[in-house]
């Protein structure tokens, strides 16, 4: 099963916006790790 490209772009853009990490570092993250960062940022932002 492949991860939807649109969702991948959304997660990477969200993390890049908040962390300012390079694209290659964000793409190297495993999906569960990337989602954990996304969830933590959302909590910190009150979303």
Q: Is the pLDDT reported for residue 1 higher than 70? A: no
Residue 12 buriedness (CB in 10 A; 0-12 / 13-18 / 19+): middle
- Residue-wise pLDDT for 6-38, tens only, equals 899 999 999 999 999 999 999 999 999 999 999
Does residue 46 come out as left (phi exceeding 0), alpha (psi in the -120 to 50 range) or beta?
left
pLDDT (0 to 100) of residue 22: 94
Length of the chain: 47
* pLDDT-derived band at 2, boundaries 50, 70, 90: low
Beta-carbon contacts of residue 35 (< 8 Å; ≥ 6 apart): 11
Number of CB atoms found within 10 A of residue 29's CB: 16
């Amino acid at each position: 099963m492949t991860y939807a490209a649109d969702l991948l772009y959304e997660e990477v853009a969200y993390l890049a916006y908040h962390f300012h990490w390079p694209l290659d570092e964000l793409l190297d993250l495993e999906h569960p790790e990337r989602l954990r960062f996304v969830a933590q940022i959302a909590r910190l932002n009150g979303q």
